[in-house]
Amino acid sequence: MPVAADPAAGLWRLSWPRQPASGQAGTRLGRAAGASLEFLDTRDYVVGDDLRHVDWRAYARTDQLRVRLFREEVAPALDVVLDTSASMAVTAAKAAATDALRAAFVFWGERGGARPRVYETPDLAPRTPLRRDGVRVVLSDFLRPDDPQPTITRLATGAALLVVVQVLDPWELAPTADGALALVDCESSQRVELVLDEAAVARYRERLARLCAGLVTATRRVGGRCATLAAAPLAEMCRGGLLPAAIVEAA
């Protein structure tokens, strides 16, 4: 049994999709026929079928040999795509929150038998292909000026479920009116001098809200789940962000 690095992780578990998944044999029902106890369908008998699965009652009624099929039990893959760009470590709190979420998702995956795998990438484009029909979790701040829809679509392609977790520093979510600032982009080194007053803060929050709304829309289009978190202790992030977004549920 895996042990969580953060005790709070043990209080939650990943909310797996209702839609049956595929994968190696495991503990969760798959989409294909298998050896579980859950009935899936019947079909004509062919040589080599397990005689124990022949529906003898139907044979008695119809004189046709029919075989009962059951759902397979699989262990779905969990791919965690982790944004390792400099913006994810722009503050210590944001970096800590990212690390905590990464560890928690790995823990939840292991506990669910999902064989989690972490893909570290600075541009949300993993060098190695993601596994098909698995659950994919994307940890990023998505603070990019371009439209997130293509990225989301690409990450969702071939996945059973896409979970998007946007991690932001509290100041990024709600900056304070700190006066004259020289803001330097931690990735592009672009320098912007401005006076951050209440009005500027309000305009910034409006633009950020549009960015987050776009991210939610893009995720919903591919049937995924999305949560925007302020960097905080894991328990607070689970309770305040991941739970309402149906990404985790109580263990």
Using CB under 8 A as the criterion, which residues of the chain lie in contact with another protein when the complex forms? 86-88, 90, 141, 143-145, 169, 172, 178-196, 200, 203-204, 207-208, 211
Minimum CB separation from another protein for residue 205, in Å?
A: 9
- C-beta closer to another protein: residue 128 or 190: 190
Output 99 or 110, the one with its CB closest to another protein: 99
Q: How far is the CB of 40 from another protein (least distance, A)?
A: 48
CA separation for the pair 98, 105 (Å, rounded) = 11
Task: Compute the least distance from the CB of residue 149 to another protein, in Å.
Answer: 17
- Comparing CB distances to another protein, the nearer of 72 and 172 is 172
Q: Which amino acid is at 58?
A: A
Three-state DSSP state, 61: helix
**Integer CA distances (angstroms), 152 to 24, 87, 102, 159, 161, in order:** 26, 19, 19, 11, 12
> Helix or strand or coil: residue 197?
coil
Q: How far is the CB of 89 from another protein (least distance, A)?
A: 9
- Read off the tokens for 76: 């779905």
H helix runs in 89-148, sequence order: 92-111
Q: Which two tokens stand for residue 24?
A: 């190696």
Q: Which is nearer to another protein, 13 or 144 (CB)?
A: 144
Place of tokens 């690095």: 5
Q: Cβ 188 to another protein, closest distance in Å?
A: 7
Alpha carbon separation from 215 to 34, 35, 102, 231 (Å, rounded): 37, 39, 20, 18
Residue 88 or residue 232: which is nearer to another protein going by CB?
88
Nearest to 172 by CA among 195, 143, 200: 143
Return the number of the residue (127 or 191) whose C-beta is nearest another protein. 191
Q: How far is the CB of 234 from another protein (least distance, A)?
A: 21
